[in-house]
Amino acid sequence: MKKAALLLLFLATIIGCTTSKTTTMEGKINGDTYEEKPVRIANDSLEYEITITDLGFPRFLNTQPPEDYYSIDYLERRNQFFVAEYNRRVLDNRYSRDLYPQRIDYDLSVHYGKEVNYLLFQYFRYFSREYNQKFPGLRN
């Protein structure tokens, strides 16, 4: 249920262009304390913002190819497809409301920028693996 609440927070805040990225971790590893904090990306005017609060996502992201590995066109096409599939599942009663609590507002006419598209794409990859959700065209 906690993961669903974190996912809901992520989905509720996704909209946007970016210029800065903050990822922090604190908690306990080998006696040192650490606590993972959300990945937050926002532009200076805060017109668009994405916050990913799923605690395992920062670690997952650190193991993925860098942003420059993908073209913006590739990321936008993949995200359009994945968002459409995700939104379809929100309306389909066969899928858990805990995993699919609300639609993602991803406007095809808005250019969110490469960083937001990269993080959204990587989050779909993470979401698929972490929650064992199969998205057509997405390899785990």
Which whole-number Å values give the CA distances from 26 to 5, 32, 56, 58, 126, in the listed order? 21, 9, 13, 12, 21
Whole-angstrom distance, CA of residue 21 vs CA of residue 43 = 9
- Note the pLDDT of residue 54: 84
Give the closest residue to 110 by CA, choosing from 16, 26, 20.
16
Q: Tell the residue number behind the tokens 């609300």, with chain if given.
A: 102
- Note the pLDDT of residue 12: 41
- Note the pLDDT of residue 3: 54
Domain ranges within the chain, ordered by starting residue: 2-130
pTM of the shown model = 0.70
Which whole-number Å values give the CA distances from 109 to 14, 15, 77, in the listed order? 15, 12, 12
- Note the pLDDT of residue 36: 61
pLDDT in single tens digits along all 140 residues of the chain: 455 444 444 444 443 333 344 434 344 444 444 456 666 665 554 466 777 778 899 999 999 999 999 999 999 999 999 999 999 999 998 999 999 988 888 888 888 889 889 999 999 999 999 999 998 877 75
- Note the pLDDT of residue 51: 77
- Note the pLDDT of residue 102: 87
